[in-house]
Structure 1
Amino acid sequence: MNQAFDPLNLLILAIAVVVILRLRSVLGKRTGNERPPFDPYAAQRRAEKPQPNGNVINMPQRDNAPDNPVLDKPAEPVWSGYAEADSNVAKGLEKIAAADSQFSTQIFVDGAKVAYEMVVTAFAQGDRQSLKNLLSRDVYEGFAKAIEEREKVGNVLESRFVGIDKTDVVGADMKGKKATITIRFLAEFISATLNKAGEVIEGDPKQVREVTDVWTFERDTGSRDPNWKLAATDETG
């Protein structure tokens, strides 16, 4: 028996016709005048295409370009906002920038703030591994010894970092390839040392304490390692 006009076949044919008509309405017909697909590199390839008069790539000329106040503005000194002109700190920062073209005082100070919080938090928690990554060998040994003595007698340091109120760059220098920068931090903490019985033997767990720390960071500018390490500490208040 001939199944050509079976109702199911007719339904499938009708659906196929509807799909084709919808596709034509969405895609349209090709006429040969369609725009080519978007190519973000087409302009670059056209600009780099060799010209008839030689293999010269025409570059924009500075004289014909419109004035750009941002580009025309001279770069600020590396010490701007952190030291006075001709001061020892300013001269030291200039030496560091001359040895390391990527150096930025602002980026350094921002990083030093983060390092400061990480170090004081790691010390309170007895986190030796974190300290080892942030401190020079000599400073690490001093911190590790203090942690060991604290643990030996069973004392616990409870410390909560509140924030840094102020940072000042008070020293900068280059000795050979070694750069050093000293920063004074004015910070606030809540800290207390407790003995085995849980009694407070130093500090106050409810009182915010203001602390002034002077920390010196160093880095070998001849090394590929971009990280600075804490090389010296001094608590002045």
Structure 2
Amino acid sequence: MVYVVLLAMVAAFLALRLYSVLGKRTGHEQQPLARAAEERPAAVAVPRTIDVAADVREPQNRNIEPKAEAGLRAIISGESGFDVAQFLQGAQAAYRMTLEAFWQGDEGTIAQLAQPDVAHAFGEAIAARREAGETLENRLISIERATIADAVLDGREARIVVRFDADIAAVTRDAEGQVIAGSLTDAVETHDLWTFSRTLKSRDPNWKLADTDEA
């Protein structure tokens, strides 16, 4: 009988200890099930709802300028599968690949990423560089920000302008390998406006570079 009483006392003690630990809120636990209004704390649900809504909206506002919103809505209406976040990821990848291809003189890669007239302009610049005997040793250090600056839908032809704010280390060498411009130790801030185009609902899912300009 004494043994049973001791076990009951130990169980009660452990229960109190568990309650003292698990009953405290740490800020990471799940919310309890909804209770009646008179039992529910008054100021808990509303602040959490506001916080969550702000977290969802903030990335969209940060990456889309107001001027582009109407055009993006039209593009989404024209092709429901269009995703802004995926487009921006692809645009940044295309920005990096196009720059690296241009620096290396890789006209084949540029032809896959850009519209024919843009690829031709890149090709002329590459040819002029080769004729001068110059080579580039450029590196894209980082893309600090990619923002959709404008968007237009004309029939099925969609055009989206992306502003890239990036840091680039650039060096130009002459035919003898001597540095004639730039430095690999000092990155230069660049601000570019690149326009990507695509025919909505076409079999080709890829957006092509249609224009480049300085921001």
TM-score by length of 2: 0.70
Task: Classify the secondary structure of the residue corresponding to 2:119.
Answer: helix
1:69-106 CA-to-partner distances (Å, cap 9, x unmatched) read xxxx9xx89x943336xx43111000000111110111
Separation in structure 1 between the aligned mates of residue 67 and residue 182 of structure 2, nearest angstrom? 37
Q: Name the larger-Rg structure.
A: 1
Separation in structure 2 between the aligned mates of residue 180 and residue 153 of structure 1, nearest angstrom? 35
Separation in structure 2 between the aligned mates of residue 83 and residue 150 of structure 1, nearest angstrom? 36
Check if 1:153 corresponds to 2:137: no
Separation in structure 1 between the aligned mates of residue 69 and residue 188 of structure 2, nearest angstrom? 32
TM superposition shift of 1:222: 3.8
Separation in structure 2 between the aligned mates of residue 189 and residue 151 of structure 1, nearest angstrom? 21
Aligned to 1:103: 82
More helix by share: 2
Of the candidates 215, 222, 226, which is equivalent to residue 194 of structure 2? 215
Structure 1 segments, 4+ long, off by >2 Å, are: 79-84
Of the candidates 171, 186, 205, which is equivalent to residue 184 of structure 2? 205
Separation in structure 2 between the aligned mates of residue 174 and residue 210 of structure 1, nearest angstrom? 31
Separation in structure 2 between the aligned mates of residue 171 and residue 160 of structure 1, nearest angstrom? 27
Separation in structure 2 between the aligned mates of residue 200 and residue 235 of structure 1, nearest angstrom? 25
8 Å CA contact 2:141–2:169 kept in 1: the answer is yes
Aligned to 1:165: 144
Q: How many residues align?
A: 159
The gaps in structure 1 that reach 5 residues or longer are 1-72
- 1 or 2 for the larger relative contact order (CA 8 Å, sep ≥6)? 2
TM superposition shift of 1:198: 1.5
Of the candidates 165, 176, 183, which is equivalent to residue 162 of structure 2? 183
TM-score by length of 1: 0.63
Task: Classify the secondary structure of the residue corresponding to 1:201.
Answer: strand
Identity %: 37
TM superposition shift of 1:211: 0.7
Aligned to 1:83: 64
Aligned to 1:233: 212
8 Å CA contact 2:67–2:149 kept in 1: the answer is no
1:154-182 CA-to-partner distances (Å, cap 9, x unmatched) read 10011111110011111001011100100
Of the candidates 126, 129, 135, which is equivalent to residue 108 of structure 2? 129
Of the candidates 120, 132, 135, which is equivalent to residue 99 of structure 2? 120
TM superposition shift of 1:195: 0.5
CA RMSD of aligned residues (A): 1.9
